[in-house]
Amino acid sequence: MTKRRALGKGLSALIPEDPLTSARDPRFLECPIEAIEPNPYQPRQHFQGPELEELVRSVKAKGIVTPLLVSRTEEGFQLIAGERRWRAAQRAGLQTVPVVVRETTPIESLELALVENIHRKDLNPIEEATAYQKWMEDGQITQSVLAKALGRERSTITNLLRLLKLPPPLQQDLIDGRLSTGHGRVLAGIKERREQQRLRDLIIKNDLSVRQAEALAKKGRGPAPTKSKPAERDAYLHSLAEDLKRSLGTKVAIKQKGRGGRITIYYYSDDELGRLLDRLT
Protein backbone atom coordinates (compact mmCIF):
# COMPACT_ATOMS: atom_id res chain seq x y z
CA MET A 1 0.00 0.00 0.00
CA THR A 2 2.85 2.38 0.83
CA LYS A 3 4.40 1.88 -2.58
CA ARG A 4 1.16 2.73 -4.37
CA ARG A 5 0.73 5.93 -2.38
CA ALA A 6 4.28 6.91 -3.31
CA LEU A 7 3.61 6.27 -6.98
CA GLY A 8 0.50 8.41 -6.88
CA LYS A 9 2.41 11.35 -5.44
CA GLY A 10 5.34 11.03 -7.81
CA LEU A 11 9.01 10.82 -6.92
CA SER A 12 8.79 13.67 -4.40
CA ALA A 13 7.44 11.08 -1.96
CA LEU A 14 10.67 9.08 -2.30
CA ILE A 15 13.30 11.84 -2.24
CA PRO A 16 14.20 13.78 0.94
CA GLU A 17 13.18 17.45 0.72
CA ASP A 18 15.49 18.92 3.38
CA PRO A 19 19.10 18.98 2.09
CA LEU A 20 20.52 19.02 5.65
CA THR A 21 18.47 15.98 6.61
CA SER A 22 19.40 14.37 3.31
CA ALA A 23 23.10 14.81 3.98
CA ARG A 24 22.77 12.78 7.19
CA ASP A 25 20.72 10.09 5.48
CA PRO A 26 22.90 7.11 4.38
CA ARG A 27 20.64 6.72 1.37
CA PHE A 28 21.66 10.18 0.12
CA LEU A 29 25.16 10.71 -1.26
CA GLU A 30 27.28 12.40 -3.89
CA CYS A 31 28.04 9.69 -6.41
CA PRO A 32 30.75 9.62 -9.11
CA ILE A 33 28.92 9.99 -12.38
CA GLU A 34 30.89 7.16 -14.02
CA ALA A 35 29.70 4.74 -11.30
CA ILE A 36 26.10 5.03 -12.57
CA GLU A 37 24.70 2.95 -15.42
CA PRO A 38 21.40 3.67 -17.24
CA ASN A 39 18.13 1.97 -16.37
CA PRO A 40 17.45 -0.93 -18.77
CA TYR A 41 13.75 -0.52 -17.97
CA GLN A 42 13.71 3.18 -18.91
CA PRO A 43 10.55 3.72 -20.99
CA ARG A 44 11.82 6.94 -22.56
CA GLN A 45 13.95 6.23 -25.63
CA HIS A 46 14.43 9.72 -27.07
CA PHE A 47 16.62 12.16 -25.12
CA GLN A 48 18.00 14.54 -27.75
CA GLY A 49 16.70 17.94 -28.79
CA PRO A 50 16.54 21.55 -27.56
CA GLU A 51 14.98 20.57 -24.22
CA LEU A 52 18.03 18.50 -23.29
CA GLU A 53 20.33 21.33 -24.40
CA GLU A 54 18.38 23.72 -22.17
CA LEU A 55 18.79 21.31 -19.25
CA VAL A 56 22.54 21.07 -19.91
CA ARG A 57 22.80 24.87 -19.67
CA SER A 58 20.81 24.82 -16.43
CA VAL A 59 23.04 22.12 -14.94
CA LYS A 60 26.17 24.07 -15.86
CA ALA A 61 24.75 27.12 -14.11
CA LYS A 62 23.12 25.55 -11.04
CA GLY A 63 24.18 21.92 -10.87
CA ILE A 64 21.74 19.05 -10.21
CA VAL A 65 19.01 20.37 -7.91
CA THR A 66 16.87 17.22 -7.63
CA PRO A 67 18.80 14.01 -6.75
CA LEU A 68 18.75 11.03 -9.08
CA LEU A 69 17.07 7.86 -7.85
CA VAL A 70 19.37 4.82 -8.07
CA SER A 71 19.75 1.26 -6.80
CA ARG A 72 22.98 -0.52 -5.87
CA THR A 73 24.54 -3.10 -8.17
CA GLU A 74 27.66 -5.24 -7.88
CA GLU A 75 29.54 -2.78 -10.10
CA GLY A 76 28.13 0.45 -8.65
CA PHE A 77 24.71 2.00 -9.15
CA GLN A 78 21.88 1.74 -11.67
CA LEU A 79 19.50 4.56 -12.48
CA ILE A 80 15.87 4.18 -11.52
CA ALA A 81 14.78 7.69 -12.44
CA GLY A 82 16.48 10.86 -13.57
CA GLU A 83 18.15 9.80 -16.82
CA ARG A 84 17.71 13.22 -18.47
CA ARG A 85 19.47 14.87 -15.53
CA TRP A 86 22.21 12.20 -15.62
CA ARG A 87 22.79 12.72 -19.35
CA ALA A 88 22.76 16.48 -18.90
CA ALA A 89 25.27 16.21 -16.03
CA GLN A 90 27.59 14.14 -18.25
CA ARG A 91 27.42 16.71 -21.05
CA ALA A 92 27.89 19.54 -18.55
CA GLY A 93 31.13 17.90 -17.35
CA LEU A 94 30.10 17.18 -13.75
CA GLN A 95 32.20 14.63 -11.88
CA THR A 96 29.59 13.74 -9.23
CA VAL A 97 25.81 13.96 -8.89
CA PRO A 98 23.51 13.77 -5.84
CA VAL A 99 21.62 10.47 -5.60
CA VAL A 100 19.11 8.76 -3.37
CA VAL A 101 19.67 5.01 -3.06
CA ARG A 102 16.62 2.76 -3.09
CA GLU A 103 16.53 -1.02 -3.44
CA THR A 104 14.00 -2.14 -6.03
CA THR A 105 12.95 -5.11 -8.09
CA PRO A 106 13.06 -4.81 -11.91
CA ILE A 107 9.30 -4.24 -12.10
CA GLU A 108 9.50 -1.53 -9.41
CA SER A 109 12.30 0.11 -11.38
CA LEU A 110 10.05 0.20 -14.44
CA GLU A 111 7.15 1.58 -12.37
CA LEU A 112 9.20 4.41 -10.87
CA ALA A 113 10.83 5.34 -14.19
CA LEU A 114 7.42 5.40 -15.86
CA VAL A 115 5.86 7.52 -13.13
CA GLU A 116 8.71 10.04 -13.25
CA ASN A 117 8.28 10.46 -17.00
CA ILE A 118 4.53 10.91 -16.63
CA HIS A 119 4.90 13.47 -13.84
CA ARG A 120 7.94 15.38 -15.07
CA LYS A 121 8.27 14.99 -18.81
CA ASP A 122 6.09 13.61 -21.58
CA LEU A 123 6.74 10.24 -23.08
CA ASN A 124 5.61 9.98 -26.65
CA PRO A 125 2.47 7.81 -26.87
CA ILE A 126 4.32 4.76 -28.23
CA GLU A 127 6.90 4.86 -25.43
CA GLU A 128 4.13 5.17 -22.87
CA ALA A 129 2.08 2.35 -24.38
CA THR A 130 5.15 0.09 -24.60
CA ALA A 131 5.95 0.77 -20.94
CA TYR A 132 2.38 -0.07 -19.93
CA GLN A 133 2.52 -3.30 -21.90
CA LYS A 134 5.84 -4.31 -20.31
CA TRP A 135 4.58 -3.39 -16.83
CA MET A 136 1.51 -5.59 -17.32
CA GLU A 137 3.54 -8.50 -18.70
CA ASP A 138 6.38 -8.40 -16.17
CA GLY A 139 4.10 -7.67 -13.24
CA GLN A 140 1.39 -10.08 -14.45
CA ILE A 141 -1.32 -7.52 -13.79
CA THR A 142 -4.48 -6.47 -15.62
CA GLN A 143 -5.34 -3.14 -17.20
CA SER A 144 -7.64 -2.38 -14.28
CA VAL A 145 -4.86 -2.90 -11.73
CA LEU A 146 -2.46 -0.80 -13.80
CA ALA A 147 -5.01 2.00 -14.17
CA LYS A 148 -5.60 2.03 -10.41
CA ALA A 149 -1.85 2.14 -9.70
CA LEU A 150 -1.45 5.16 -11.98
CA GLY A 151 -4.67 6.89 -10.94
CA ARG A 152 -6.01 6.79 -14.50
CA GLU A 153 -9.13 5.60 -16.25
CA ARG A 154 -8.93 2.09 -17.64
CA SER A 155 -10.14 3.41 -21.00
CA THR A 156 -7.05 5.63 -21.17
CA ILE A 157 -4.80 2.60 -20.74
CA THR A 158 -6.83 0.59 -23.27
CA ASN A 159 -6.68 3.33 -25.91
CA LEU A 160 -2.94 3.74 -25.54
CA LEU A 161 -2.29 -0.01 -25.80
CA ARG A 162 -4.29 -0.11 -29.03
CA LEU A 163 -1.67 2.16 -30.59
CA LEU A 164 0.82 -0.72 -30.47
CA LYS A 165 -1.32 -2.54 -33.04
CA LEU A 166 -0.65 0.17 -35.62
CA PRO A 167 1.91 -0.68 -38.33
CA PRO A 168 5.46 0.56 -37.62
CA PRO A 169 5.34 3.55 -40.05
CA LEU A 170 2.25 4.94 -38.29
CA GLN A 171 3.82 4.35 -34.88
CA GLN A 172 6.81 6.36 -36.09
CA ASP A 173 4.45 9.20 -37.04
CA LEU A 174 3.28 9.26 -33.41
CA ILE A 175 6.85 9.16 -32.11
CA ASP A 176 7.90 12.04 -34.37
CA GLY A 177 4.80 14.10 -33.58
CA ARG A 178 3.34 14.10 -37.08
CA LEU A 179 0.21 12.50 -35.62
CA SER A 180 -1.35 13.15 -32.22
CA THR A 181 -2.50 10.47 -29.81
CA GLY A 182 -6.09 11.27 -30.79
CA HIS A 183 -5.28 10.71 -34.46
CA GLY A 184 -3.60 7.43 -33.53
CA ARG A 185 -6.74 6.25 -31.73
CA VAL A 186 -8.81 6.97 -34.84
CA LEU A 187 -6.39 5.08 -37.09
CA ALA A 188 -6.19 2.15 -34.66
CA GLY A 189 -9.96 1.70 -35.06
CA ILE A 190 -9.57 1.03 -38.80
CA LYS A 191 -8.92 -2.61 -39.65
CA GLU A 192 -7.85 -2.23 -43.28
CA ARG A 193 -4.20 -1.19 -43.54
CA ARG A 194 -4.74 0.55 -46.87
CA GLU A 195 -7.53 2.64 -45.36
CA GLN A 196 -5.32 3.47 -42.38
CA GLN A 197 -2.59 4.76 -44.69
CA ARG A 198 -5.09 6.69 -46.83
CA LEU A 199 -6.54 8.48 -43.81
CA ARG A 200 -3.10 9.08 -42.36
CA ASP A 201 -2.05 10.83 -45.59
CA LEU A 202 -5.21 12.97 -45.54
CA ILE A 203 -4.66 13.97 -41.91
CA ILE A 204 -1.11 15.15 -42.57
CA LYS A 205 -1.76 16.72 -45.98
CA ASN A 206 -4.85 18.68 -44.87
CA ASP A 207 -3.88 19.18 -41.21
CA LEU A 208 -7.14 17.54 -40.12
CA SER A 209 -8.32 17.75 -36.53
CA VAL A 210 -9.14 14.59 -34.60
CA ARG A 211 -12.84 15.34 -35.04
CA GLN A 212 -12.46 15.65 -38.79
CA ALA A 213 -10.45 12.42 -38.92
CA GLU A 214 -13.15 10.64 -36.91
CA ALA A 215 -15.80 11.88 -39.33
CA LEU A 216 -13.81 10.64 -42.32
CA ALA A 217 -13.19 7.28 -40.65
CA LYS A 218 -16.93 6.85 -40.06
CA LYS A 219 -17.88 7.99 -43.53
CA GLY A 220 -15.17 6.03 -45.27
CA ARG A 221 -14.56 8.65 -47.96
CA GLY A 222 -15.39 12.21 -48.97
CA PRO A 223 -14.48 15.62 -47.54
CA ALA A 224 -14.47 16.30 -43.83
CA PRO A 225 -17.58 18.09 -42.53
CA THR A 226 -17.31 21.74 -41.51
CA LYS A 227 -19.86 21.43 -38.70
CA SER A 228 -20.46 18.67 -36.18
CA LYS A 229 -23.46 17.47 -34.27
CA PRO A 230 -23.52 18.03 -30.49
CA ALA A 231 -22.71 14.37 -29.77
CA GLU A 232 -19.71 14.49 -32.13
CA ARG A 233 -18.57 17.74 -30.54
CA ASP A 234 -18.75 16.20 -27.06
CA ALA A 235 -16.70 13.23 -28.24
CA TYR A 236 -14.14 15.60 -29.73
CA LEU A 237 -13.85 17.62 -26.51
CA HIS A 238 -13.55 14.40 -24.52
CA SER A 239 -10.71 13.32 -26.81
CA LEU A 240 -8.94 16.65 -26.27
CA ALA A 241 -9.40 16.33 -22.50
CA GLU A 242 -7.86 12.85 -22.59
CA ASP A 243 -4.86 14.18 -24.51
CA LEU A 244 -4.37 16.95 -21.94
CA LYS A 245 -4.82 14.45 -19.12
CA ARG A 246 -2.06 12.27 -20.55
CA SER A 247 0.20 15.27 -21.10
CA LEU A 248 -0.28 16.85 -17.66
CA GLY A 249 -0.66 13.65 -15.67
CA THR A 250 -3.87 14.72 -13.95
CA LYS A 251 -7.62 14.94 -14.56
CA VAL A 252 -8.74 17.58 -17.08
CA ALA A 253 -12.28 18.60 -18.05
CA ILE A 254 -13.33 20.75 -21.02
CA LYS A 255 -16.77 22.39 -21.11
CA GLN A 256 -18.01 24.43 -24.05
CA LYS A 257 -20.55 27.25 -23.81
CA GLY A 258 -21.39 29.05 -27.03
CA ARG A 259 -18.17 29.77 -28.88
CA GLY A 260 -16.14 29.79 -25.69
CA GLY A 261 -15.85 27.54 -22.69
CA ARG A 262 -13.47 26.58 -19.92
CA ILE A 263 -10.73 24.07 -19.22
CA THR A 264 -10.56 22.72 -15.65
CA ILE A 265 -7.30 21.16 -14.44
CA TYR A 266 -7.53 19.18 -11.20
CA TYR A 267 -4.82 18.72 -8.57
CA TYR A 268 -4.82 16.68 -5.37
CA SER A 269 -1.91 17.98 -3.31
CA ASP A 270 0.29 21.04 -2.88
CA ASP A 271 3.16 19.16 -4.54
CA GLU A 272 1.02 18.38 -7.56
CA LEU A 273 -0.12 22.01 -7.78
CA GLY A 274 3.50 23.11 -7.81
CA ARG A 275 4.36 20.57 -10.49
CA LEU A 276 1.49 21.76 -12.68
CA LEU A 277 2.43 25.41 -12.22
CA ASP A 278 6.01 24.64 -13.20
CA ARG A 279 4.82 22.76 -16.25
CA LEU A 280 2.36 25.39 -17.41
CA THR A 281 4.61 28.39 -16.81
Q: Which residues are catalytic?
A: 83
Which residues, including other chains, have CB under 8 Å from residue 161's CB and lie 6 or more apart? Answer: 129, 132, 133, 143
| Nearest residue to 72 (alpha-carbon basis) of 22, 42, 111, 31 | 31
Residue 106 CA to residue 108 CA, distance in Å, equals: 5
One-character DSSP codes across 51-85: HHHHHHHHHHHH---SPEEEEE-SSSEEEEE-HHH
Contact 133, 163 (CB under 8 A): no
Please report, for residues 101, 143, 157, the alpha-carbon distance to residue 107 in angstroms, rounded to integers and kept in the order given. 17, 16, 18
Virtual torsion, Cα 97, 98, 100, 105, nearest 10 deg: -10
